[in-house]
C-alpha cells in the first residue's frame, strides 16, 4: 500500500524537451517517487533530476518553481503527489 501527499501543481509542460514545470507546496528531493494526476493524466515516476532557475538541485521546498523530466505529457493544473510506501 502507498500513501500520497499533495506537494504541488503543474504550471507548464515543455513538449520539445519533455519537462514539467511545477509550483511546489511541499518538499521534494531527487529519488522521491511522485504521481502526477489530472483529468486525463496518471503518471508515476522517480525524480531523477530537478532544476530551479536552470540550476541542478537535490531538493526543493514550498514556494519553489522546479522543472523535472517526465516520460509522458502532463497538463497545466495537474496535481503532483509524493508517494511513500507504507508497511
Q: pLDDT tens for residues 47-78?
A: 999 999 999 999 999 999 999 999 999 999 99
CB 10 within 8 A of CB 76: yes
Question: Three cell numbers at 54?
Answer: 536552470
Give residue 86's pLDDT.
Answer: 77
Q: Which residue has the higher pLDDT, 85 or 3?
A: 3
Q: Tell me 39's DSSP state.
A: S
Taking alpha carbons only, the member of 19, 21, 23 closest to residue 7 is 23
**Strand duo 79-85 + 42-46: pairing:** unpaired
Q: Which domains does the chain have, with CATH numbers?
A: 2-75 (2.40.30.10)
pLDDT for 85 beyond 90: no
Q: Specify the pLDDT at position 58.
A: 97
Amino acid at each position: 500500500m502507498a500513501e500520497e501527499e499533495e506537494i504541488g501543481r503543474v504550471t507548464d509542460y515543455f513538449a520539445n524537451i519533455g519537462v514539467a514545470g511545477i509550483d511546489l507546496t511541499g518538499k521534494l528531493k531527487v529519488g522521491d517517487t511522485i504521481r502526477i494526476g489530472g483529468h486525463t493524466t496518471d503518471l508515476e515516476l522517480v525524480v531523477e533530476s530537478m532544476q530551479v532557475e536552470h540550476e541542478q538541485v537535490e531538493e526543493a521546498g514550498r514556494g519553489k518553481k522546479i522543472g523535472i523530466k517526465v516520460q509522458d505529457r502532463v497538463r497545466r493544473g495537474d496535481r503532483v503527489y509524493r508517494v511513500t510506501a507504507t508497511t
